[in-house]
Amino acid sequence: MVLPGLSLNLPPSRPGTHLATFRFIHCSDLHIDSPFRGFSAIHPEWAQRLREATLKSFLNIVDLAVREQVDAVIIAGDVFDGEDKSLPTQFKFRNGLQTLADHAIPVFIAHGNHDPLNSWSTTLAWPEGVTVFPAARVHSVPVEKNGRTLAHIYGTSFPEPDVFDNLALKFERRQEAGFAVGVLHANVGGNPNHDPYAPCAVEDLVARGMDYWALGHIHLREVLRESHPAIVYCGNSQGRHFKESGPRGCCLVTLREDADPEIRFVATDVLRFAEAAVDVSGCATLDAVVGEIVEQCQQLLSQAEGRSLVVRQTLTGRTEAHSLLMKGGTMDGVRDEALRKIPDATAGLWLEFRLHTRGAYDIDALKQGQDFIADLIALYDQQAETAGLLECREALKPLVQAWEGSYLLAEFSDGELREILLQASNLTLDMLVNRD
């Protein structure tokens, strides 16, 4: 059975030749059991969908491997999101591995910073054909088919979460038959958006003699080098928040003696995230606002390839409906009405909103005034500057220092503080300008 979300419209594979060929799936960062964060509120049914999405994306990978009759599946780290792995989910993951074993497809797993070897339970036995790479050394395992050695898979795992050694230097291709594939969870090239675990350079990987590097840790798909060797981040298999928008999946790789690697991305996600701005300037009524929201949602759904979609829309612009939008409960009603107007949206769409609208008043004209409102606007603008943000943090400290969640204040980015200031400015001006 094919699970929802699995892309099946793959171009046909090239016809085989007498030359050696090795076909495998490269996936990583499954983050099974990962919590989904960043939602102001969400329906319980959707919360359940989010919890199950990472596991379902892995099962889509299993279905793809069986359908394509690949020679191996490689998982380059972070199978689970953390040490608190639910036992039912572990059983389901093992059942997926068993399906691959039943089809004689070996699996190779290198553990990363989220699922280091010291966090794994030994109470579950893996099916035959599953290799879990050890820590501290690089292990090499052959992939054999019909009496021929197609490849050797080289890999190592994180012994604990914090690994800052250059693990790439431990790899060395031996004089063995078949292709050589390295499996490594690492930050190659010092990507600033991810922790610097197992840092190394592209040159370190090139010098190891591999034909292909199956990398994990970076969640954005990227080909660092196309051949001799190919060095590839496949990205994570399922987006988990709005910073992981767009298609997510795995790489279907074909290595041939007579050609450069063929690397095809296959989407395996079951739902996607999207962020978009909706300009509601000129919308005098809530019906008009809903119309703009619906139009954009329909465009986003048409691009989602039949998958469920979680959308965060930022409403912008000056509108006479601003004061209504700011009232408590209004946006819940707007969401319900928008979903009602979109065919089948209830089953496949969830909406979140951010309000960056302003009243229909002319903000530039207000700034030119000689009154309290002009002074207030100037004060908000000053507070949004870097020095002003520091003052905001200091001013808020006494309010939250006795609160157990006070550490959250330090975690606010400058952008988030500016957003809070903008919302406060809009609310204040709306009350002052529109007062009777």
Report the CATH number at residue 198: 3.60.21.10
- 338 pairs with which residues across the strands? none
- Domain boundary pick from 344, 360, 376: 360
The yes-or-no verdict on residue 422 having pLDDT over 60 is yes
Judged by DSSP in three states, 277 sits in strand
Instruction: Tell me: do 218 and 344 sit in the same domain.
Output: no
Instruction: Tell me: do 42 and 141 sit in the same domain.
Output: yes
The most confident of 169-183, 188-202, 366-380, 418-432, by mean pLDDT: 169-183
* Mean pLDDT over the full length of the chain: 87
Judged by DSSP in three states, 388 sits in helix
321/396 Cα distance (integer angstroms): 31
Judged by DSSP in three states, 244 sits in coil
DSSP 292-350: HHHHHHHHHHHTTTT-EEEEEEEEEEE-TTHHHHHSTTHHHHHHHHHHHHSTTHHHHEE
Q: Is 8 part of a structural domain of the chain?
A: no
Q: Choose among 243, 217, 242: nearest CA to 232.
A: 217
Reported as a pLDDT band with limits 50, 70 and 90, residue 11 is: very low
**What average pLDDT does this structure show over 252-272?**
96
Instruction: Tell me: do 259 and 339 sit in the same domain.
Output: no
Q: Is 211 part of a structural domain of the chain?
A: yes
Residue 400's pLDDT is: 65
Instruction: Tell me: do 151 and 185 sit in the same domain.
Output: yes
Q: How many domains does one find in the chain?
A: 3
Q: Is 245 part of a structural domain of the chain?
A: yes
**What average pLDDT does this structure show over 143-153?**
95
The angle, 0 to 180 degrees and rounded to 10, between the axes of the packed helices 414-433 and 386-400 is: 90
Residue 181's pLDDT is: 98
Q: Is 14 part of a structural domain of the chain?
A: no
Q: Is 233 part of a structural domain of the chain?
A: yes
- Domain boundary pick from 317, 342, 360: 360
State how far the alpha carbon of 305 is from the alpha carbons of 26, 62, 361, 422, in Å. 22, 20, 41, 35
Compare 9 and 143 and report the one with higher pLDDT.
143
Q: Choose among 224, 211, 216: nearest CA to 260.
A: 211
Q: Is 15 part of a structural domain of the chain?
A: no
Residue 408's pLDDT is: 60
- Domain boundary pick from 323, 341, 360: 360
Instruction: Tell me: do 244 and 277 sit in the same domain.
Output: no
CB 321 within 8 A of CB 279: no
Question: CA 244, 248, 249, 255 torsion: positive or negative?
Answer: negative
Cis omega (within 30 of 0) for bond into 398? no
Instruction: Tell me: do 200 and 335 sit in the same domain.
Output: no
Residue 392's pLDDT is: 81
Instruction: Tell me: do 257 and 279 sit in the same domain.
Output: no
Residues in contact with 165: Cβ distance below 8 Å, sequence separation at least 6, in sequence order: 198
Least confident among 184-188, 265-269, 317-321, 413-417: 413-417
CB 224 within 8 A of CB 214: no
Q: Is 400 part of a structural domain of the chain?
A: yes
Instruction: Tell me: do 233 and 275 sit in the same domain.
Output: no
Predicted TM-score of the model (pTM): 0.83
Instruction: Tell me: do 392 and 341 sit in the same domain.
Output: no
Q: Is 215 part of a structural domain of the chain?
A: yes
pLDDT in tens, 309-363: 999 999 999 898 988 898 889 999 999 999 999 977 666 899 999 998 988 878 8
Instruction: Tell me: do 29 and 79 sit in the same domain.
Output: yes
Give the domain range for residue 281: 271-360
- 140 pairs with which residues across the strands? 154
Judged by DSSP in three states, 202 sits in helix
**What average pLDDT does this structure show over 151-175?**
93
CB 220 within 8 A of CB 192: no
Instruction: Tell me: do 318 and 367 sit in the same domain.
Output: no
Instruction: Tell me: do 29 and 170 sit in the same domain.
Output: yes
